[in-house]
Structure 1
Amino acid sequence: MGGTIGWSIRSVLAQSCGDWELVIGDDASDDDSLEEACFFSDPRIKVIVQSRNRGKAIMMNRLLEEAKGRFILELDGDDWLAPDTVRLLSEALDQAPEAGMATALYAWWIRTRQMGPVWKSTISSVCQQNPFGLSAHSAHPLVPRMYRTSLLKAIGGWWDREDRFGRIFEDIDLTARLLEHHLLVQFPAVLYHRVICGSSISQRNRDLFPAWRKSR
């Protein structure tokens, strides 16, 4: 993420709401991602480093231990936020105390070598999946994902395993478990910009979804 994480961080710094903390996880990266993450001197930013790559789920649980806010918003190191994302999703959860999670629309971008990210369309991920985030043969994670921290901790956080299935679809697993007991609210605007890269671990392993689902 060395070439993209700086832009992701800047999208947090540009939030209209300044009451946030940014906890960044470096899962034993082997490029200049860590150097880029440590470039910013804002006291609201903290970087957590793992010396051995253990997968996103385990890193997310480490970040959950560090987080102090009432809500947690996931942001991948090659995506970025609209300026009002934190404020609007936080307000949506405040106005729906029975909800465990908030989402919105997102802009879908494709990463290219020649031109950088190329915009494809605007997507509502709620319409792509059943309420629990799981279908028989396809994986469509909710994007964006803001969780109520207390409820996220109550269900034990992310699926804490390091094998092959512990490194993919961790977002869908968490969404499914959380929404089994709590409501979802959706804000009707594009608040997140998601970049799809064909070489990412999730894209390379899409065909494993049926087998992964059986292993849950």
Structure 2
Amino acid sequence: MKVTVVITLYNKEKFIDRAIQSVLHQTHSNWTLIIINDASTDHSLAKIEPYLKDRRIKCITLKRNLGQAHALNYALTQIETSHFIQLDADDWLDQAALGQMVDAAGAFAHAGLIYANNIVYWENEAGKVIKQEPIVLRQYTDRYDLLKHMNHTLLPRFYLTQAVRDIGGWLSQKKEDIYSEDVQILLRLSAKYPMVWLNQFLYHRRKYAQNIRAFETSRPMRWKYRYDLYNQMLREWGNEYRAIWKKDGDAYILVDLVPNK
């Protein structure tokens, strides 16, 4: 099975080499890589240029930076394979990732998403890894289980292309969508398609000073958006349940889902 790897890129010249190299070194070699350069202003394009000699790799540069959701939707128009995997430009894939995902896709043909475990690498200002944190996920039984217990984002994310197209891709109309486009699409996808977990470590995530600062700065907006998004999802799913929330400073903590009478 041929699959597509999608990297959306904005000013990640320090990291893009490792992301691309992790694709090149996959044990499963039947892939194509689409890089969406979201109007980067650093030297990312210069780093990508040597890789474009490989016919499996192409780079599309957008004229304006409109955010990851917009870039992913553009990538969705370019994908010609039945499945694709999303790879952030500052992360990298385990070399067995594509092979394991392809095998799982053969066994679970109707799964809208296949995901696995990941490892987080915390780096200091000098780029030295100071802590590794394995993130072990689990199989979610249904959309409500996912909504209630998704304490970590699901990575890696290996999508059934038609499933993502069926739900209209990523929502990118609102400014606040940039804070939770990953959670948003997972919840919307889980309402219509089964999702399958592989108990293997197939994705490597990097946490470093710049993205940690951005994460902390956006915390109040992200918590508020999560609160609004979850309540909206429950309404769209038929108002069978309502969320019980606890406010803790800036945080909206989901305590429970209770049936509506």
Q: Which runs of 5+ in 2 are unaligned?
A: 1-11, 233-261
- The alignment partner of 1:75 has SS state of strand
State the partner residue of 2:237: none
Query: Quick one: which of 79, 88, 100 aligns to 2:112?
Result: 100
Q: Kindly name which structure, 1 or 2, has the bigger radius of gyration based on alpha carbons.
A: 2
Residue 194 in 1 paired to residue 205 in 2? yes
Q: Distance in 1 between matches of 2:139 and 2:124?
A: 27
Q: Could you list the per-position Cα deviations for residues 39-80 of structure 1 after superposition, in whole angstroms to 9, with x for gaps in the alignment?
A: 212111111111211000000000111111111101001100
| Contact 1:57-1:161 at 8 Å conserved across structures | no
| Contact 1:117-1:195 at 8 Å conserved across structures | no
State the partner residue of 1:181: 192
State the partner residue of 2:33: 22
Equivalences for 1:112-123 in 2 at 5 Å? 112-123=124-135
- The alignment partner of 1:150 has SS state of helix
Q: Distance in 2 between matches of 1:82 and 1:66?
A: 24
TM-score by length of 2: 0.75
State the partner residue of 1:169: 180
1:114 CA drift (Å) = 2.1
TM-score by length of 1: 0.90
Query: Quick one: which of 187, 204, 208 aligns to 2:217?
Result: 204
Q: Distance in 2 between matches of 1:69 and 1:119?
A: 37
Q: Distance in 1 between matches of 2:106 and 2:216?
A: 34
* Structure with greater proportional strand content: 2
Q: Distance in 2 between matches of 1:8 and 1:198?
A: 19
Which structure has more relative contact order (CA 8 Å, sep 6+)? It is: 1
Question: Percent of aligned positions with the same letter in both sequences?
Answer: 28
Q: Which runs of 5+ in 1 are unaligned?
A: none
1:101 CA drift (Å) = 0.5
CA separation of 1:121/1:127 partners in 2, compared to 1, >3 Å: closer, same or farther?
farther
1:93 CA drift (Å) = 1.8
Query: Quick one: which of 16, 33, 36 aligns to 2:47?
Result: 36
